[in-house]
């Protein structure tokens, strides 16, 4: 079996990679029967020379590989027919912009495994960059606050070497007694928490967050039932929320009255309530000054996320009174940070973490007969057709 690491070709360029040089060395040590080739790249965070120096083959042609690993969507013209691919295709939610990509994958008889579809038997995701999105999202959110109020200047995350450098820069600034709220307790939310803990921001209880004033910056991390409530007033469990999301409404407004900076790290089902509504943002007692929408669902649960922003231009202003984008320095503007590829800003750390996850959860499946069903569950296409698990995408493929 021959594995290939493909060059990232999506624009803007992404410097991440599924496997670092040292991780590929480990793969070959654990599975001597595997062979590996890396497609030459001038943008990857790890250079061709770094791979070659560890004995990894670097080549301009990976068409003889059986399994090809990438990060972002592969341009249609670069897809090699009759291969198996792993990458983020952004098709499982029927993204209109990627319909042609999935159509091409089927036409070219490609077996597609989307990184998002790699789950365990309980349907929990095993692979992702979420932790790193949370880490960079907090840095960018605090940086946005400094820009808006001209209190301090932090360099862009992409200019720094990684997580440790982000933390070091955050520790150098003096924060006013801000209140930060995080929604979500998965990989993204916990990545956000990791940074706040690292810079010694105090975590407090919900009751204290809502009722007390502090002389230092504090934060609270919320689970889904902390900011949603049943319409009928019953207090049930998480299972009820996930099974009956339409029976709930947002209860986030109480946090908007005391929060300065909001970090979103939640997963949001389309059937679930909008979390931060236009009405909340327009309220005279809304204190939110910065929304770092790490989850970045445009036209989703965060009303001020009018569009995704970019690493080059990461922030924009939102004017609640007219529900429109304005300059960041507009006196009534809430600052929105909604970069949708945050882990790209710390590509070395993100690649190292991703490769470790991949080695733990995915690579063994190629050599143990897929005894845990990892590959079977993740495979979206086979023999030019959608697999049964992803047959719900047929109308999307058909353009209906």
Identify the three-state secondary structure at position 337. strand
CA distance 48 to 142: 35
Q: Long-range contacts for 52-56 (Cβ within 8 Å, ≥24 apart)?
A: 53/21, 54/21, 54/22, 54/24, 54/25, 55/25, 56/21, 56/24, 56/25
Q: Are 316 and 304 in contact (CB under 8 A)?
A: no
Does 90 participate in catalysis according to the annotation? yes
CA distance 274 to 24: 43
237 annotated ligand binder: no
CA distance 365 to 34: 13
For 237: left if phi > 0, alpha if psi spans -120 to 50, otherwise beta; the answer is beta
Q: Are 195 and 167 in contact (CB under 8 A)?
A: yes
Q: Pick the catalytic residue: 7, 72, 163, 169?
A: 72
CA distance 173 to 322: 34
Instruction: Kindly state the tokens that stand for 345.
Output: 């800003």
Instruction: Kindly state the tokens that stand for 314.
Output: 């990461």
Does 371 participate in catalysis according to the annotation? no
Q: What is the dihedral of CA 360, 365, 367, 369, to 10 degrees?
A: 150
CA distance 68 to 210: 50
Closest CA to 141 of 303, 307, 5, 260: 260
Strand order in the sheet with 35-39: 57-59, 35-39, 2-5, 67-69, 84-87, 111-114
Identify the three-state secondary structure at position 11. coil
| Cβ count near 211 (within 10 Å) | 9
Q: Pick the catalytic residue: 90, 94, 289, 361?
A: 90
CA distance 190 to 196: 10
* Binding residue numbers: 226
Active site residues: 72, 90
* Binding residue numbers for NAD(+): 226
């Amino acid at each position: 079996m021959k594995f290939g690491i493909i060059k990232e070709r999506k624009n803007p360029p992404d410097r991440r990679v599924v496997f670092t040089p040292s991780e590929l060395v480990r793969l070959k040590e654990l599975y001597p029967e595997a062979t590996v080739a890396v497609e030459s790249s001038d943008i990857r965070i790890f250079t061709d020379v770094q791979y070659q120096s560890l004995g990894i083959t670097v080549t301009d042609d990976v068409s003889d590989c059986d399994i090809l690993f990438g990060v972002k969507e592969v341009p249609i013209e670069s897809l090699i027919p009759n291969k198996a691919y792993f990458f983020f295709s952004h098709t499982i939610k029927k993204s209109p912009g990627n319909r042609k990509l999935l159509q091409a994958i089927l036409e070219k008889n490609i077996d597609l495994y989307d990184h998002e579809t790699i789950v365990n038997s309980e349907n929990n995701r095993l692979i992702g960059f979420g932790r790193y999105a949370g880490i960079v999202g907090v840095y960018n959110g605090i940086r946005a606050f400094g820009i808006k109020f001209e209190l301090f200047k932090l360099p862009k995350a992409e200019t720094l070497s990684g997580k440790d450098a982000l933390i070091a820069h955050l520790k150098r600034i003096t924060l006013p007694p801000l209140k930060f709220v995080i929604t979500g307790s998965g990989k993204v939310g916990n990545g956000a928490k990791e940074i706040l803990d690292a810079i010694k921001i105090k975590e407090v209880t919900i009751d204290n967050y809502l009722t007390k004033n502090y002389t230092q910056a504090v934060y609270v991390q919320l689970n889904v039932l902390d900011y949603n409530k049943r319409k009928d007033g019953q207090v049930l469990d998480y299972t009820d929320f996930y099974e009956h999301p339409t029976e709930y409404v947002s209860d986030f407004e109480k946090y908007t009255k005391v929060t300065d900076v909001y970090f979103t790290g939640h997963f949001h089902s389309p059937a679930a309530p909008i979390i931060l509504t236009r009405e909340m943002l327009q309220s005279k007692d809304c204190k939110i000054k910065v929304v770092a929408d790490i989850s970045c669902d445009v036209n989703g649960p965060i009303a001020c996320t009018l569009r995704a922003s970019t690493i080059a231009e990461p922030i924009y202003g939102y004017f609640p009174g007219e529900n429109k984008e304005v300059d960041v320095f507009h006196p009534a503007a809430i600052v929105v940070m909604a970069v949708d590829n945050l882990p790209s800003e710390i590509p070395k750390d993100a690649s190292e973490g991703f490769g470790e996850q991949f080695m733990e959860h995915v690579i063994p499946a190629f050599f143990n007969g897929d005894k845990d069903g990892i590959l079977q569950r993740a495979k979206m296409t086979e023999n030019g057709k959608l697999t049964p698990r992803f047959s719900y995408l047929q109308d999307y493929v058909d353009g209906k």
